[in-house]
């Protein structure tokens, strides 16, 4: 930024510091914080301090609007620092230069009283034979006592970086009260916070006043009452910053003269216009009129040529933006966010410096103006929640635009026939429910990374979508009219592709080679009937969602997407066959086939050695599983509702990780004795196993088993003989079974806490057996809790 040059200064800030103490740490952070704002700061190069002359440094000091003096432990030992300080203080007296001291890791009292390192440094300078240095030392020593009262102790670079948000030094450090701020800015900030002080005499005569802040939020004024306190001539010729929150009049009074004003903050005011007619404010750079609920139009900016930022957020009565806004060639930020009544913008805009233009929430704005050439600086344009119906073709003149937000523009029907904004990175059309056609894409749009067309009414994507070679995220979810995609997709940078709830989409395109970057593909709730074999070209795919694709009938005969982690085929109610799995898909962790029509699982399912969760629940056509299960990483296995499944496979290897096995509502007649290989099993659910009569005796070897449910197994009569104590079993559900007796196996369940025997009508002699078992096994461990639920019969 060259803000200083506009006011006759070469630099905004000169930093005076001891290099050995602070250059690599505090000062470098401070300098970076200033530059980012951007504030034009001077920091000397180390080579400038080699030699005996300070001419270049002294010139920089004289050309700076403000000097920061960073006192550190060894500051006073540097003759260069002291010579610079003499020049700084001279400029303070002769040029009204603002001087702000900062105390970095040094006690201000040590500076003020010349103690410790400062005392030692000055004593050494006293012995210096250099006459020039001796004079400088005396000068510095004489004024440093008073000067040191005005600084910031322990202020770090980050805090100062935040302070520079107000470019013209409105100081708002949370540890400083109003009184200390006034003192520390050499009385340049005047704060008036009570209405009794609101009169010309409070400020008249302060011709050197630079910062003025007036706040009386809790008082209500009538115009005449306030005017009697504002009569007189307020010639604040040196005023740079004016903040007047809750200003009570309809416009600024004509007797306000502030030709040097740089920043004007009038938030929450009662104005319906900022000023009458045309005002000349050549130095004004920043205006904030946010939340002025009576403001109806913006002022005439013809004679405000250097305005850089205009914020008019949430002005709910604003109807029109004055046409002169278009002439502001230095404007960087124009924020009209949530001005709900705004209807009129200039017919053409040509603000060549504009970087951010925010019209989001302007819910009555129907027309966006033409864009002149030369607006290459605009980076962000936000029109979300507006009422615009079309974008002009001249939108393509915004060749520097990186973010275009049109989300929830429900009236938007037309985009330009071709889009060629070569710098565009994000394009958001979410919720544009009237948009039926997406335009052609030029070949130069390689920078676009995110395109969101979710909830739009588009019916097809043009083949030129493949020109978006840099596209990472494409969202077409809830595009219920979408029927046609390009016949082939070759967006090599694509990472996420969302087509969920595209309920008219029947065909998925071929996938070209080179799309290894795609990680997430979501086709859930679509109408597709099959997937092309080329889907296997998505070698980087990790999440594949086909949930509720009720028309899906077939998958490729073999799946070899080696990076796949989740594969969701939930409720694909037309899918009858699951393909074979190639070796090398060790990464798949979740496979959900619940609600599908598959009749069998291929034996190659065991190639999924990394599978954690397998869900086959409600696969009512499922009849066959592989003869053995060897998926050692399995943690949950759901089979409930598989009504036609009659045989559970052998567990050929130890599977320590399986925690939940749910086989409820199936026709399985028995469990294999190898069930004991599930050594980590916690929950075994066998509810409503209508054909199950018994359990293998190896069940007692499941030492990790916590809960066993046989509820509704109407043919289950005999619990197996348990030869070892099952200390871990806490819950046993036998309700609705044909169990006849509890002895002697009940005695082995030494950790049992809950036993459900509701509707066990074949059970005999239960009380005597049970209480005997309790006395024998459970009483010695008093902490155990038994809940007995018995039927009335």
- Contacts for 14 with CB less than 8 Å, ≥ 6 apart: 41, 42, 60, 61, 64, 66, 67, 68, 88
Query: What is the distance between the alpha carbons of residues 228 and 494, in angstroms, rounded to a whole number?
Result: 67
Query: Sorting pLDDT into bands at 50, 70 and 90, what band is 541?
Result: very high
Residue 730 has pLDDT above 70, yes or no: yes
Q: Average pLDDT of 514-531?
A: 96
SS3 357: strand
Query: Sorting pLDDT into bands at 50, 70 and 90, what band is 180?
Result: very low
- Contacts for 37 with CB less than 8 Å, ≥ 6 apart: 1, 161, 164, 165, 167
How big, in percent rounded to 5, are the helix, strand and coil portions of the chain? 20, 20, 60
Query: Sorting pLDDT into bands at 50, 70 and 90, what band is 237?
Result: low
Q: Average pLDDT of 60-66?
A: 90
Query: What is the distance between the alpha carbons of residues 723 and 304, in angstroms, rounded to a whole number?
Result: 95
Contact 57, 84 (CB under 8 A): yes
The overall pTM is greater than 0.75: no
Contact 699, 721 (CB under 8 A): no
The secondary structure of residue 530, as a DSSP letter, is B
Least Cα distance to 712 among 753, 758, 660 occurs for 758
- Contacts for 421 with CB less than 8 Å, ≥ 6 apart: 395, 396, 398, 399, 401, 404, 445
Query: Sorting pLDDT into bands at 50, 70 and 90, what band is 146?
Result: very low
pLDDT in tens, 337-366: 999 999 999 999 999 999 999 999 999 999
Query: What is the distance between the alpha carbons of residues 165 and 33, in angstroms, rounded to a whole number?
Result: 10
Contact 269, 247 (CB under 8 A): yes
Measured from the Cβ of residue 696, the count of other Cβ atoms closer than 10 Å reads: 15
As a whole number, the mean pLDDT across the chain is 83
Residue 462 has pLDDT above 80, yes or no: yes
Query: Sorting pLDDT into bands at 50, 70 and 90, what band is 764?
Result: confident
Measured from the Cβ of residue 123, the count of other Cβ atoms closer than 10 Å reads: 10
Q: Which superfamily does 682-793 belong to?
A: Ribonuclease Inhibitor (3.80.10.10)
- Looking at per-residue pLDDT, the higher value among 721 and 37 belongs to 721
Query: Sorting pLDDT into bands at 50, 70 and 90, what band is 39?
Result: confident
Predicted local distance difference test score (pLDDT) of residue 96: 79
- Looking at per-residue pLDDT, the higher value among 472 and 257 belongs to 472
pLDDT in tens, 381-424: 999 999 999 999 999 999 999 999 999 999 999 999 999 999 99
Q: What value, to the nearest 5°, has the Cα angle with vertex 214 and ends 208 and 220?
A: 150
User: Three-state SS across 121-135?
Assistant: HHHHHHCCCCHHHHH
Predicted local distance difference test score (pLDDT) of residue 221: 45
Q: Which superfamily does 3-172 belong to?
A: Toll/interleukin-1 receptor homology (TIR) domain (3.40.50.10140)
Note every long-range contact of 263-267, with CB atoms under 8 Å and residues 24 or more positions apart, other chains counting: 263/166, 263/167, 263/168, 263/170, 264/288, 265/241, 266/292, 267/291, 267/292
> What are the φ and ψ backbone dihedral angles of 371, each rounded to 5 degrees?
-110, 120
Note every long-range contact of 231-236, with CB atoms under 8 Å and residues 24 or more positions apart, other chains counting: 231/200, 231/255, 232/199, 232/200, 232/201, 232/204, 233/200, 233/204, 233/257, 234/200, 234/203, 234/204, 235/204, 235/207, 236/203, 236/206, 236/207, 236/209, 236/212
User: Three-state SS across 248-282?
Assistant: CCCCCCCCEECCCCCEEECCCCCCCCCCCCECCCC
Domain boundaries, the chain: 3-172, 682-793
Task: Tell the burial category of 660 from Cβ atoms under 10 Å away from its Cβ (0-12, 13-18, 19+).
Answer: middle
Residue 747 has pLDDT above 60, yes or no: yes
Residue 334 has pLDDT above 70, yes or no: yes
Predicted local distance difference test score (pLDDT) of residue 676: 94
Query: How many helices, marked H, and strands, marked E, lie in the chain?
Result: 13, 43
Query: What is the distance between the alpha carbons of residues 319 and 695, in angstroms, rounded to a whole number?
Result: 79
Contact 193, 216 (CB under 8 A): yes
Pairing of strands 380-382, 418-419: unpaired
- Looking at per-residue pLDDT, the higher value among 189 and 8 belongs to 8
Which residues on neighbouring strands pair with residue 428, listed in sequence order? 405, 452
Measured from the Cβ of residue 647, the count of other Cβ atoms closer than 10 Å reads: 16
Place of tokens 């006011």: 7
Q: Average pLDDT of 703-726?
A: 91
Place of tokens 């007047």: 244
Distance between the two ends of the chain, CA-based, in angstroms? 91
Contact 482, 505 (CB under 8 A): yes
Query: What is the distance between the alpha carbons of residues 92 and 99, in angstroms, rounded to a whole number?
Result: 7
Q: Provide the CA 364 distance to its chain's centre, in angstroms.
A: 29
pLDDT-wise least confident of 14-23, 309-318, 353-362, 484-493: 14-23
């Amino acid at each position: 930024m060259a803000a200083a040059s506009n006011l006759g200064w070469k630099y905004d800030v000169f930093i005076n510091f001891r290099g050995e103490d602070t250059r690599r740490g505090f000062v470098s952070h401070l300098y970076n914080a200033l530059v980012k704002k951007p504030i034009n700061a001077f920091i000397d190069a180390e080579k400038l301090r080699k030699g005996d002359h300070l001419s270049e440094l002294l010139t920089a000091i004289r050309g700076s609007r403000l000097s920061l003096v960073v006192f550190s432990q060894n500051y006073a030992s540097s003759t260069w620092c002291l010579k610079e300080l003499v020049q700084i203080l001279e400029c303070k007296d002769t040029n009204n230069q603002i001087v702000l001291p900062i105390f970095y890791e040094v006690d201000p009292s040590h500076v003020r009283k010349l103690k410790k390192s400062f005392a030692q440094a000055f004593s050494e300078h006293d012995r210096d034979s250099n006459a020039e240095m001796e004079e400088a030392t005396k000068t510095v020593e004489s004024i440093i006592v008073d000067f040191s009262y005005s600084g910031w102790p322990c202020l770090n670079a980050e805090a100062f970086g935040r302070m520079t948000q107000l470019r013209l030094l409105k100081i708002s450090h949370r540890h400083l009260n109003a009184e200390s701020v006034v003192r520390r800015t050499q009385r340049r900030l005047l704060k008036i916070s009570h209405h009794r002080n609101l009169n010309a005499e409070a400020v008249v005569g302060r011709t050197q006043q630079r910062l003025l802040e007036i706040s009386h939020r809790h008082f209500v004024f009538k115009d005449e009452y306030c005017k009697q306190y504002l009569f007189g001539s307020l010639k604040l010729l040196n005023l740079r910053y004016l903040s007047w929150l809750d200003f009570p009049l309809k416009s600024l009074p004509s007797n306000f003269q502030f030709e040097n004003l740089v920043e004007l903050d009038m938030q929450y005011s009662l104005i319906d216009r900022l000023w009458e007619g045309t005002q000349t404010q050549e130095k004004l750079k920043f205006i904030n009129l946010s939340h002025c609920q009576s403001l109806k139009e913006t002022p005439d900016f013809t004679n405000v040529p250097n305005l850089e930022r205009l914020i008019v957020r949430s002005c709910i009565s604003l109807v029109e933006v004055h046409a002169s806004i278009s002439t502001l060639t230095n404007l960087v930020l124009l924020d009209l966010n949530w001005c709900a009544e705004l209807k009129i913008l200039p017919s053409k805009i040509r603000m060549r410096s504009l970087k951010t233009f925010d019209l989001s929430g302007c819910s009555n704005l129907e027309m966006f103006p033409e864009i002149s050439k030369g607006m290459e600086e605009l980076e962000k344009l936000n029109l979300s929640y507006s009422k615009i119906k079309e974008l002009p073709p001249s939108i393509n003149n915004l060749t520097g635009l990186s973010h275009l937000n049109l989300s929830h523009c429900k009236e938007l029907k037309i985009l330009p026939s071709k889009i060629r904004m070569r710098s565009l990175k994000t394009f958001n059309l979410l919720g544009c429910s009237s948009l039926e056609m997406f335009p052609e894409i030029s070949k130069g749009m390689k920078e676009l990374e995110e395109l969101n067309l979710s909830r739009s009414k588009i019916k097809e994507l043009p083949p030129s979508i493949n020109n978006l070679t840099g596209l990472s995220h494409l969202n077409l979810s809830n595009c219920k009219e979408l029927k046609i995609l390009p016949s082939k997709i070759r967006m090599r940078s694509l990472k996420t592709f969302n087509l969920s709830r595209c309920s008219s989409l029947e065909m998925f395109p071929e996938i070209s080679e080179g799309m290894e970057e795609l990680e997430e593909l979501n086709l859930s709730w679509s109408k597709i009937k099959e997937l092309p074999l080329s889907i296997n070209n998505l070698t980087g795919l990790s999440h594949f969602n086909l949930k509720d694709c009720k028309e899906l009938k077939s998958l490729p005969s073999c799946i070899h997407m080696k990076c796949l982690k989740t594969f969701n085929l939930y409720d694909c109610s037309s899918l009858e066959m699951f393909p074979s799995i190639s070796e090398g898909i060790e990464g798949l962790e979740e496979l959900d086939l619940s609600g599908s029509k598959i009749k069998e699982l291929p034996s190659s399912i065991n190639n999924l050695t990394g599978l954690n969760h397998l869900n086959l629940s409600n696969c009512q056509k499922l009849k066959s599983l592989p003869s053995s299960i060897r998926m050692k990483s399995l943690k949950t296995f759901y089979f409930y509702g598989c009504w036609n499944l009659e045989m559970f496979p052998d567990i050929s290897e130890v599977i320590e990780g399986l925690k939940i096995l749910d086989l409820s509502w199936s026709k399985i007649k028995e469990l294999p004795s190898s069930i004991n290989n599930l050594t980590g099993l916690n929950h075994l659910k066998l509810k409503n196993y209508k054909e199950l009569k018994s359990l293998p005796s190896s069940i007692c070897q499941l030492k990790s088993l916590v809960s066993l449910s046989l509820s509704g197994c109407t043919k289950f009569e005999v619990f197996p003989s348990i030869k070892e104590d099952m200390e871990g079993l806490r819950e046993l559900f036998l309700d609705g079974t044909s169990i006849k007796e509890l002895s002697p196996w009940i005695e082995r369940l030494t950790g049992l806490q809950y036993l459900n025997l509701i509707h066990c009508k074949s059970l005999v002699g239960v009380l005597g057996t049970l209480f005997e078992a309790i006395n024998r096994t459970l009483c010695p461990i008093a902490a155990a809790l038994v809940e007995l639920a018995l039927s009335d019969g």
